[in-house]
Amino acid sequence: EAQVTQNPRYLITVTGKKLTVTCSQNMNHEYMSWYRQDPGLGLRQIYYSMNVEVTDKGDVPEGYKVSRKEKRNFPLILESPSPNQTSLYFCASTRFGTSTGELFFGEGSRLTVL
Amino acid sequence: TQLLEQSPQFLSIQEGENLTVYCNSSSVFSSLQWYRQEPGEGPVLLVTVVTGGEVKKLKRLTFQFGDARKDSSLHITAAQPGDTGLYLCAGAWRGSARQLTFGSGTQLTVLP
């Protein structure tokens, strides 16, 4: 089954404790992206990657890091989480090369930073 | 960052009623997508529109792309409780390198 898998689905942590949210896709997609979703603000892009070793900032990259060492994986790293990073996070992927391609989303990771 | 305005933000209607959700931008889209998101899940693509004036139908859902490609609408006929969810429009602009900008979403509740 084609899917995007995120882990963990739920996480409560404390300010300053480094954490990683993993994302893996099994569709051989070149393009992967991370979004955060907050009430009234829709989905805002954090970082994206057009292929292995190619990453770029989205609209709200501050406080986040990513890496793309393998095509299927795109982890999101919070080096020193703060309460304003409490949010619902989504990873998504699509085939690169088309401007109208469907974004496939994971089920989301709800993060709470105390 | 291109801005994309979606309205209304919240909509609560009775089963059987019709509704329309709007998505507007001051810039010309190269394409526009509509997604639906249910609680605890990620958004799922409903439709992609590309051509100005284009109309696409998905059962009781009708999607329209403005002639100037700056706006789009989603019309639901005879809404059902199963239509309840968050509807998101997402626009791509020329030269945006596959970046989609999402609207803030419309939370639709259809009461039985």
- Out of B33, B42, B50, closest to residue A106 by CB: B42
Q: What number of other Cβ atoms are within 10 A of residue A73's Cβ? A: 16
- SS3 annotation, A82-101: CHHHCEEEEEEEECCCCCCC
Q: What ranges make up the beta strands (E) of A2-108?
A: 4-7, 10-13, 19-25, 31-38, 42-51, 54-57, 65-66, 76-78, 87-94, 104-105
Cα A62 to Cα A19, A34, B52, B96, B104, distances in angstroms: 15, 13, 36, 21, 20
As a whole number of angstroms, the distance between CA A63 and CA A95 comes to 27
Is pLDDT of A98 > 60? Answer: no
What percent of chain B is predicted at pLDDT more than 90?
79
- Whether the pLDDT of residue B26 is over 60: the answer is yes
Q: CB A99 to CB B103 under 8 A? A: no
CA distance A15 to A69: 27
CA distance B88 to B63: 13
Whether residue B52 has pLDDT greater than 90: yes
CA distance A17 to chain B (A): 25
Mean pLDDT of B43-68: 95
- pLDDT band per the 50, 70, 90 thresholds, residue B30: confident
In terms of pLDDT, which residue wins out, B41 or B94?
B41
Is a pLDDT exceeding 80 seen at residue B2?
no
Query: Given an 8 Å threshold on Cβ–Cβ distance, is A105 in contact with B33?
Result: no
- Which residues touch B37 (CB under 8 Å, ≥6 apart)? B43, B44, B85, B86, B87, B88, B105
**According to the model, what pLDDT value does residue B67 have?**
94
Nearest to A90 among B9, B42, B104 (CB): B42
Count other C-beta atoms under 10 Å from residue B49's C-beta: 22
pLDDT value of position A74? 98
Residue A41 — pLDDT band, cuts 50, 70, 90? Answer: confident
Q: Provide the 8-state DSSP code for A106.
A: -
Q: Are strands B106-111 and B10-14 parallel, antiparallel or unpaired?
A: parallel
Average pLDDT of chain B is 92
Which residues are CB-contacts of A99 (< 8 A; sequence separation ≥ 6)?
A: B30, B31, B92, B98
Question: Would the pLDDT of A23 be above 90?
Answer: yes
**Which of B2, B98, B101 has the highest number of chain A CBs within 10 A, making it the mutation to test binding with A?**
B98
d(CA A64, CA A47): 8
CB contact under 8 A, A105 and B104: no
Instruction: Say how many CB pairs under 8 Å bridge A and B.
Output: 59
Is the confidence at residue B93, as pLDDT, over 80? no
> DSSP per residue over B99-110, as a string?
--EE---EEEEE
CB contact (8 A) between residue B45 and residue A48: no
Distance from the Cα of A48 to chain B's closest Cα (Å) equals 9
Residue contact A92–B99, C-beta within 8 A = no
